[in-house]
Structure 1
Amino acid sequence: MFILFVFSLNRAIAEYLSHDLPYKLSPDDAFVTSGCTQAIDVALSMLARPGVNILLPRPQGWEVDLDAVEALADHNTAAMVIINPGNPCGNVYTYPHLKKIAETAKRLKILVIADEVYGLLAFGANPFVPMGVFGSVVPVPTLGSLSKRWIVPGWRLGWFVINDPNDIFRNPKIVERLKKYFDILGGPSTFIQAAVPRILQQTEDVFFTKTINILKQTSDICCERIKKIPCISCPYKPVGSMAVMVRNL
């Protein structure tokens, strides 16, 4: 019964994330974690080896400086991390830019780790596009959780999902090793896991619409009030996530 329960949970996560992808994820592609923090730990543990490095690009013009990425990458580079929507920048990457990121990663022969814990929390001109859309270009481990979109930070339930329709990960048995690794990890509370399929499948759109409206309104209020404070400024009005960057004048 426990095995069936876990399979049902993984299947619900895979089906939920598949809605915005050009291919279907399987339950074997999804792993449940204790929040997105544990998903990050798994991603780092999966890639860890002596001398390895992972690139965390700084935004330039609120996009990834891909020239800098190519200049910094070397034979020990295993991956680069993309946080979208951005925190604390409040930016949302466009489809064309994400495509360039995927093509750059393919050229460098590295992974793209997509931290999408704020996924779909976009309220500007750019719609949220999951990095997994480009999983056929380069393998993409996607990290996410319930905490932000469903506003339940204390629940500590997240996921580590492999977007790899070309089965690049499966050839060297990476998925098999991941399963063994997850077998020794502690997971979220059982009652929370039991609630996830229903949460993912039955939350009404009005809840998400209300959340987006609140985020946009509070973003507008913050930026307007920051303008009235003489010693600080808001260099970029957020269009996603839940944070705003402030600069000292």
Structure 2
Amino acid sequence: MSVKPIKKSHKLDNVCYDIRGPVMQKANQMEAEGARIIKLNIGNLAAFNFTVPEEMEQDLAKNLPNAAGYTDSKGIFGARKAIMHYTQQKRIKGVTLDDIIIGNGVSELIGFAMHALLNVGDEVLIPMPDYPLWTAATTLAGGTPVHYLCDEDNEWNPSIEDIKSKITSNTKAIVVINPNNPTGALYSDEILQQIVDIAREHNLVVMADEIYDRVLYDGHSHTSVASLADDVFFVTMNGLSKNYRACGYRAGWMVLSGAKESASGYIEGLVMLASMRLCANAPGQHTIQTALGGYQSIDDLVAPTGRLARQRDLAYQLISEIPGVSCVKPKAAMYLFPRLDPKVYPIEDDQSFVLEFLEKEKVLVVQGTGFNWHAHDHLRFVFLPIEDELREAIGRFAKFLKDYRERAVV
């Protein structure tokens, strides 16, 4: 008797996460066969010897004996209190303990945000390029992602005109990823205010992903979009993974602020989803208060002489020196999103392009379409490896592109 195949749900038909997609699977296979791969595909800081602050590790160990039971579904008191104080530093008004929900990383909370809000056919405005989990979560929740353009010629700031042109009667929310992944952009206050004005006019929820809000270079400062109004409803996401190099702690949070009265039904849905998963990872929660209140070692890393700043400068310089490659210098985060001039590099399929690069040069990057970019002319590079490894990886990229140019001419 033949066995009937078990297929995946149709809900996953248009869901993808190419950061850990087919090209990474090929890299894992190559590693299993003995190859050494330089991985520039994901912002996993621990893999590049960026360490968690020692005080956080000590508090994790100290509290571990008390972390076996379920916590409050919104999170432990001390952690939420510290997050509330942090919102005050960011000038977000009117946040109470009840307005904070701790999750297993921002990734879990993005799912909550979409499932609690969307009905089938509802639309969410998401930046292009995006962090692809936002698009995937919108689709999985039954909504329709609508991508608005971020303008490379304007330091990757969102195009306000494009946002306006894509609003319909079905639009329910707009996502703002600032600082931005994958471009490293830091949005201007003027642009943020215009987005708030649009949200007010069209009664949109503003979902702000601010996970990189301390990873800032060249003396730049970050404005939380939720600090710009109290008559628009904001859902602001943050966590420990990037600023505190604690990706595996799975400790993120969402903050609800602004026009909370008008969003009471939505908030009820968020609380319901938080209760259904019982609680977030308890050990990780016990490090939040220490992280937010302690010495901010990220400041040393992003200072002009700090490791992250030096590696950003080096990667940007080396990438920019390659013929036919241009890049907006990132003001924040830990990524470069360079453009390959289509006249020089006529790439028809950027996933095949990065796969060929991996196979020939043993360097793993992510194609621009993996971030829902509309053309096959961008790649994302992580600049977390030490400087010698960055030189090696980008040197291999330059060699690969030289060969590609020569083949393209022929």
- Tell me the equivalent position of 1:245: 337
- Tell me the equivalent position of 2:317: 224
- Tell me the equivalent position of 2:118: 48
Change (3 A) 1:134 1:190: same
The structural deviation recorded for 1:233 is 2.0
Alignment counterpart, residue 162 of structure 2, candidates 45, 51, 68: 68
Between the aligned partners of 1:58 and 1:239, the Cα distance in structure 2 is: 19
- Tell me the equivalent position of 1:180: 272
8 Å contact from structure 1 (residues 223, 234) kept in 2 = no
Q: Secondary structure at the match of 1:58?
A: strand
The structural deviation recorded for 1:23 is 2.1
Q: Secondary structure at the match of 2:286?
A: helix
Q: Secondary structure at the match of 2:236?
A: strand
Between the aligned partners of 1:79 and 1:181, the Cα distance in structure 2 is: 19
Q: What amino acid is aligned across from residue 267 of structure 2 in structure 1?
A: V
TM-score, reference length from structure 1: 0.90
Aligned length: 244
8 Å contact from structure 1 (residues 111, 138) kept in 2 = yes
Change (3 A) 1:30 1:5: closer
Q: Secondary structure at the match of 1:175?
A: helix
8 Å contact from structure 2 (residues 103, 253) kept in 1 = yes
Between the aligned partners of 1:98 and 1:123, the Cα distance in structure 2 is: 19
Between the aligned partners of 1:119 and 1:242, the Cα distance in structure 2 is: 12
Q: Does 1:77 align with 2:135?
A: no
- Tell me the equivalent position of 1:210: 300
Change (3 A) 1:97 1:75: same
The 5-angstrom pairing of residues 7-46 of structure 1 reads: 7-46=77-116
- Tell me the equivalent position of 2:76: 6
Q: Does 1:58 align with 2:149?
A: yes
8 Å contact from structure 1 (residues 93, 126) kept in 2 = no
Alignment counterpart, residue 236 of structure 1, candidates 325, 328, 337: 328
**Residues 35-90 of structure 1: per-residue CA shift (max 9 Å, x gap):** 11111101111211021010112211222112221211111100111100011111
Change (3 A) 1:83 1:212: same
Between the aligned partners of 1:238 and 1:111, the Cα distance in structure 2 is: 27
The structural deviation recorded for 1:11 is 1.9
Say which one has the larger Rg: 2
TM-score, reference length from structure 2: 0.56
Q: Which runs of 5+ in 1 are unaligned?
A: none
Between the aligned partners of 2:224 and 2:246, the Cα distance in structure 1 is: 21
**Residues 116-147 of structure 1: per-residue CA shift (max 9 Å, x gap):** 11112221464211111124141110111100
8 Å contact from structure 2 (residues 94, 257) kept in 1 = no
Q: Which runs of 5+ in 2 are unaligned?
A: 1-68, 127-147, 342-410
Between the aligned partners of 1:234 and 1:187, the Cα distance in structure 2 is: 45
* Identity %, equivalent residues: 23
- CA RMSD, 1 decimal: 2.1
Farther-moved stretch of structure 1 (174-183 vs 59-68): 174-183
Between the aligned partners of 2:114 and 2:170, the Cα distance in structure 1 is: 14
Change (3 A) 1:22 1:88: closer
